[in-house]
């Protein structure tokens, strides 16, 4: 299919500079930030991200629960970008897309690897196979950019050096080619993991020849994409944060960044679930990540598909129990007691319960869906948006 798509559209990636973004977490933020920096530099650029695709002034929906679309849509959008006389095209690229050769035939100018953490082992089977799949994108790119702070660094570095493939490294806590911490130039504090995303994006654009002054200007004027640490406040002063975090590491990092903001005697209430027919081994780890920083947890549905959502919740809960959490019935759970969790399968009811438990100054963090606009129950997609629900019910 990828070969046919390339033939149909005339191998458009050969006529534009493609930047591929892969990694377990941080792909979407990095994609949008690189896009924004290039636009700030006055460049003509298009992109495909988890949230949407943008070619010129047109925005395209890439489908439900989709990061990297199929080869025909990718090549079609690349072709349109070429016709628009764009110089750059940024493609958020998943390991599934690489392994299934959806991106075969694309010539990458730069490949960025944000990190590699526990995810998709239902598909890739082992961490090493997962990592090797992502490294394949770097090996097909003219320039590879890798994260020296990530635990995968030595393995990735070794694989690239074995193939005599050059790379540029970035890192804040480890020795690297690029080490600038852009948190220092921002008026507002940014999450720890976004410090890495910002540095990775700046390294990519630096490789592309963008000046440091322009990079800083772009970073200062950048807003996170939809569903990434998106903040709301209710009429009674409860803070609500909606985030796409759906891996153990992403949940840990998102909650850590919020926990560091919490004033004394305020609580963090976490609402989340785990997707059905996906990596089951990560579920207890997600529970453990949540239990590291949350005071109260409400487990709920999250695209359970044809799995039993109760069983999914039980698997997640094992990680919470290891962190000292005690299960309560929904009617028994009270905000004054810490380290307790309950299960409310209906996502709307779960969010409403979380906000009802919260007092002024408390944080309700809802993770897993972010920008998405549907919930998969069984084999059917139902309209749903965490963002729209929060705005409609609590902020109007």
Domain ranges, residue 361: 230-394
17-29 average pLDDT score: 95
Domain match, 216 and 240 both: no
- Tokens (6 digits) for 380: 């059917």
142 and 260 assigned to the same domain: no
In sequence order, the 6+-apart residues with CB closer than 8 A to the CB of 182 are 190, 195, 198, 199, 202, 216, 219
Give the tens place of pLDDT for each residue, 256-300: 999 998 999 999 999 999 999 999 999 999 999 999 999 999 999
Residue 64: pLDDT band by 50, 70, 90 thresholds?
A: low
Question: Both 189 and 253 in a single domain?
Answer: no
Q: Kindly report the CATH number assigned to the domain that includes residue 62.
A: 3.40.1190.10
Same domain, 268 and 349: yes
Q: What band does 396 get if pLDDT is binned at 50, 70 and 90? A: confident
In this structure, the answer to whether residues 205 and 313 fall within a common structural domain is no
Same domain as 265, residue 204: no
36 found inside a domain? yes
Q: What is the C-alpha to C-alpha distance for residues 99 and 74, in angstroms, rounded to an integer?
A: 16
> What span, in angstroms and rounded, lies between the C-alpha atoms of 36 and 216?
11
Count of domains for the chain = 2
Taking alpha carbons only, the member of 57, 87, 52, 83 closest to residue 69 is 52
Average pLDDT, the chain: 94
- Does the pLDDT at position 120 exceed 70? no
Does the pLDDT value for residue 174 go beyond 80? yes
Does 323 lie in the same domain as 184?
A: no
pLDDT tens, residue by residue, 198-246: 999 999 999 999 999 999 999 999 999 999 999 999 999 999 999 999 9
β 340-343/326-327 pair status: parallel
Give, in degrees to the nearest 5, the angle at Cα 269 between 330 and 51.
Answer: 110
Same domain, 50 and 125: yes
- Token pair 């390339």: residue: 6
Split at pLDDT 50, 70, 90, the class of 121 is: low
- Measured CA distances, 189 to 14, 46, 233, 234, 282 (Å): 40, 29, 18, 22, 30
pLDDT in tens, 32-46: 999 999 999 999 999
* CATH number of the CATH domain containing 378: 3.90.190.20
- Give me the helix-helix angle, 347-357 and 386-394, nearest 10°: 50
């Amino acid at each position: 299919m990828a070969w046919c798509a390339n033939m149909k559209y005339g191998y458009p990636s050969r006529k534009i500079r493609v930047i591929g973004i892969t990694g377990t977490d941080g792909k979407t933020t990095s994609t949008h930030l690189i896009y924004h920096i290039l636009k700030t530099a006055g460049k003509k650029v298009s992109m495909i991200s988890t949230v949407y695709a943008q070619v010129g002034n047109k925005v395209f929906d890439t489908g439900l629960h989709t990061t990297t679309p199929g080869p025909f849509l990718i090549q079609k959008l690349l072709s349109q970008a070429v016709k628009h006389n764009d110089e750059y095209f940024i493609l958020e690229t998943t390991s599934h897309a690489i392994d299934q050769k959806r991106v075969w035939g694309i010539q990458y100018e730069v490949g960025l690897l944000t990190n590699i953490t526990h995810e998709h082992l239902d598909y890739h089977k082992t961490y090493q196979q997962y990592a090797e799949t992502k490294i394949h994108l770097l090996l097909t790119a003219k320039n590879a950019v890798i994260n020296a702070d990530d635990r995968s660094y030595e393995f990735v570095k070794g694989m690239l050096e074995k193939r005599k493939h050059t790379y540029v490294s970035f890192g804040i806590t480890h020795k690297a080619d690029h080490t600038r911490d852009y948190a220092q130039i921002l008026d507002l504090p940014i999450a720890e993991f976004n410090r890495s995303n910002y540095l990775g994006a700046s390294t990519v654009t630096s490789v592309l020849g963008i000046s440091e002054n322009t990079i800083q200007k772009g970073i200062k004027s950048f807003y996170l994409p939809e569903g990434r640490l998106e903040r709301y406040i209710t009429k009674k002063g409860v803070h609500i944060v909606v985030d796409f975090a759906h891996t153990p590491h992403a949940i840990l990092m998102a909650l850590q960044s919020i926990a560091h903001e919490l004033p004394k005697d305020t609580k963090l209430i976490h609402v989340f679930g785990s997707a059905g027919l996906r990596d089951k081994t990560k579920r207890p780890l997600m529970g453990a990540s949540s239990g590291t920083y949350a005071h109260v947890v409400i487990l709920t549905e999250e695209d359970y598909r044809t799995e039993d959502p109760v069983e999914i919740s039980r698997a997640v809960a094992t990680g919470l129990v290891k962190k000292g959490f005690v299960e309560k019935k929904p009617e028994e759970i009270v905000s004054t007691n810490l380290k307790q969790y309950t299960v409310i399968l209906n996502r709307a009811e779960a969010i409403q319960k979380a906000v009802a438990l919260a007092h002024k100054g408390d944080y309700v963090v809802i993770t897993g869906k972010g920008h998405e606009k549907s919930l998969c129950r069984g084999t059917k997609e139902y309209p749903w948006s965490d963002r729209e629900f929060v705005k409609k019910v609590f902020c109007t």
